Amino acid sequence: MKKILSVVCALSCLSTPVWAANTINNQSALSTQAGYSFGYLVGKSNAEALQSIDLNAFIEGLTAASRNQNPALSEQEMANILALYKKQAEAKDLLEHQQQADINAKAGADFLNKNAHQAGVVTTASGLQYQVLKAGQGKSPNKNSTVEINYEGRLIDGTVFDSSIAREQSVDFRVSEVVSGLAQGLLTMKEGGKTRFFIPAKLGYGEIGAGDAIGPNSTLIFDVELIKVK
């Protein structure tokens, strides 16, 4: 490990940043390839944290620490700086999150307002919209039922974020365990039926969203086939 770090440190002493020149290949010395590989993997696993920092300063700090040199800043100063940096980054992330939430909320409202006038679309008191694609003939679930369904979930721009249909494998779950918009929608179905649900953010994942796929205040579309009420 010390040898790998020394390669990274030695490279940092060059006047031109090493990432500006693509000189690493499978003919390079093993220690050079190892240094590059280690640096790449560290960068890849910490890509988000490294995006907005000064990489030259990062390598300078890495060099000083690996050579046991005295730091340019005291440990207390570094702790204070990192705390401030984290606070500013969180504030920036929060602002960007809120801006995206506002954009998604407007887009969702516009979509639902227009969609409400489409043929066959029913709007409920809660704001849920649905369109029956195929009427079912079996029994309907209640909020405590376990159901077997096939489904596809997507955003209003058509991006699919989850699909048991694509996986070719139906799923079982309790109605009460899903987002409220989908739970309300399932209660309108009968076995054998297929329905398309248009779920406003307040009945979905709200201002938080879900992971990278579903942003804040996202309106969701679910195509659902109710196979069986268990």
Reported as a single tens digit per residue, the pLDDT across 166-186 is: 999 999 999 999 999 999 999
Reported as a single tens digit per residue, the pLDDT across 85-104 is: 989 989 998 999 999 999 99
| Domains by residue range for the chain, with CATH | 2-66 (no CATH), 98-229 (3.10.50.40)
User: How confident is the prediction for the chain on average, in pLDDT?
Assistant: 89
Quote the pLDDT of residue 22: 57
The structure's pTM equals 0.71
Q: Both tokens of residue 16? A: 């031109």
94 three-state secondary structure: helix
Residue 192 CB partners (closer than 8 Å, separation 6+): 134, 136, 137, 138, 226, 227
Reported as a single tens digit per residue, the pLDDT across 113-129 is: 999 999 999 999 999 99
Q: How far apart are CA 38 and CA 34, in angstroms?
A: 6
Tell me which residue of 158, 169, 159, 145 sits closest to 225, measured CA to CA.
Answer: 169
